[in-house]
Amino acid sequence: MKILVLNAGSSSQKSCLYQLTGDTLPSKPPQPLWEAKIDWSVSAGLGLLEVEANETALEIQLESDDRPTGVSQMLKTLVEGKTKVLKELSQIDIVGHRVVHGGAEYSQATTISKEVKEAIARLIPLAPTHNPANLEGIEAIEKVLGDIPQVAVFDTAFHSQMPLEAAVYPIPYEWFEKGIRRYGFHGISHKYCADRVAQLLGKPLESLKIITCHLGNGCSLTAISEGKSINTTMGFTPLEGLMMGTRSGSIDPAILIYLMREHNFNADQLDKMLNKASGLKGVSGLSSDMRSIKEAISEGNDRAKLAFDMYIHRLKACIGSMLASLGGLDVLVFTAGIGENAAIVREKACEGFEFLGLKLDKDKNNSSPVDEDIAMSDSKVKILVLHTEEDWAIATECWHVMMS
Ligand code: ADP
């Protein structure tokens, strides 16, 4: 079975092709046959396409920023040139898409129909940068591959069963009825990590209390009990919760009212400030990239140190709140760019939780672990560093659709 995965972001389009044989899923994520990425942010009006397959890496300058044309050029590299891995595109059996917002309706991966596309479009006001890109990807595939089965895998789905006390905001209830509620995001990654924990520990997922820390450019935590998300840090939008690369995370909402009244900020300016000019970047004045923050700290930069300390302070506060939702903890998971690579963030995040019997093994933590437990052997809580595999999780959903 050949499964194409599309993962569209606001300024990029990632894609990969998996080939699966036999009638069971492999226990470990396989290497894709082909991987590609279009970066739309490199220069105005152009796109940069990077492709890897057959041990060849290509870079192609796209002559326009028309996204459907870009997707079809990207797909051409599957059947032409040095990265050719298919005779023809019709060999692809199914296409899976990461869709950021599925609203309250979608609690599972869903085969894409006219109604599903309408729902994704209807939810654009809730995910104004992502859902349009997801829809464009779906339509671009329709253009090139006709009526091939396509599956939407929603980042909100894993959280859709959160208990009401975690999902409802303490504002007039009528707003909840109109859709203003906590949805949660990064669900594909949080769910993948929960399943992987159970697999690596050889225990039923339902028996484990897990906190997953997805720390990338966007950051969120999820409390998982009996295999379900019972609380998470992102909310109505991916802005709530932790301090992130360029996003503020949670702040006193009265700050916004103050800025509007006293400094004439409008909605667009507030949006830009909180989403693009805050977090590590806004506080340090330097960069949203944790690597640059670490480097600046080593050179004695005080603002970078403050940004780092705030990041950890807020991370620990949110781990504490997930802990309270769970009433205990078996496994703490770190994943995504920072979670997988920044040993110092893991070390500092664990400090203060020793009272749980959680003991980090610093040597293991510093030895670039991948899918490994970095806790001491007598730690009561396991600490796992997992490589998140969102694309594989999407492919797995497609496989289930094909096999059902
Ligand atoms: P996205 O949310 O866009 O998928 P990633 O999961 O790739 O992002 O994470 C990006 C973040 O990971 C950046 O802040 C980057 O600094 C951080 N990162 C990547 N490698 C390292 C590293 N070796 N040390 C510290 N941080 C890292």
pTM of the model: 0.94
CA angle 91, 95, 98 (to 5 degrees): 155
Ordered structural domains, the chain, with CATH:
2-154 (3.30.420.40), 203-385 (3.30.420.40)
Q: What is the pLDDT of residue 65?
A: 79
The answer to whether 233 and 183 are in contact (CB under 8 A) is no
Which pLDDT tens digit goes with each residue over 255-289? 999 999 999 999 999 999 999 999 999 999 999 99
In the predicted model, what is the mean pLDDT of residues 233-242? 96
Average the pLDDT over each of 140-144, 259-263, 379-383 and give the range with the smallest value: 140-144
Q: In angstroms, what is the span from residue 338 Cα to ligand 1's centroid?
A: 5
Give the phi and the psi of residue 171 in degrees, each rounded to 5.
-120, 170
Residue 46 confidence (pLDDT) above 90: no
- Sign of the C-alpha dihedral, residues 108, 111, 116, 120? positive
Pocket test for ligand 1, best of 288, 289, 386 (most atoms within 8 A of CB): 289
Residue nearest to atom 4 of ligand 1 (CA): 216
pLDDT at 310 over 80: yes
Over the chain, what HEC string results?
CEEEEEEECCCEEEEEEEECCCCCCCCCCCCCCEEEEEECCCCCCCEEEEEEECCEEEEEEECCCCHHHHHHHHHHCCCCHHHCCCCCHHHCCEEEEEECCCCCCCCCCEECCHHHHHHHHHCHHHCCCHHHHHHHHHHHHHHHHCCCCEEEEECCHHHCCCCHHHHCCCCCHHHHHCCCCCCCCCHHHHHHHHHHHHHHHCCCHHHCEEEEEEECCCEEEEEEECCEEEEECCCCCCCCCCCCCCCCCCCCCHHHHHHHHHHCCCHHHHHHHHHHCCHHHHHHCCCCCHHHHHHHHHCCCHHHHHHHHHHHHHHHHHHHHHHHHHCCCCEEEEEHHHHHHCHHHHHHHHCCCHHHCCCECHHHHCCCCCCEECECCCCCCEEEECCCCHHHHHHHHHHHHHHC
Percent of the chain with pLDDT over 70: 100
Note if 155 is an active site residue.
yes
The residues with which 373 forms a beta bridge, in sequence order, are: 384
User: pLDDT value at position 74?
Assistant: 95
Average pLDDT of the residues in 151-170: 97
Query: What was the pLDDT predicted at 335?
Result: 98
Give the number of other Cβ atoms within 10 Å of residue 27's Cβ.
6
Residue nearest to atom 19 of ligand 1 (CA): 337
Chain-centre distance for alpha carbon 159: 13
Q: Mean of the per-residue pLDDT values for the chain? A: 95
Inform me whether the pLDDT recorded for 43 exceeds 80.
no
- Ligand 1 pocket check for 218: Cβ under 6 Å: yes
pLDDT tens-digit readout, 320-335 = 999 999 999 999 999 9
Q: Which residues pair with 360 in a beta bridge?
A: 375
Q: Whose CA is nearest to atom 22 of ligand 1?
A: 341
Give the pLDDT score at 10: 72
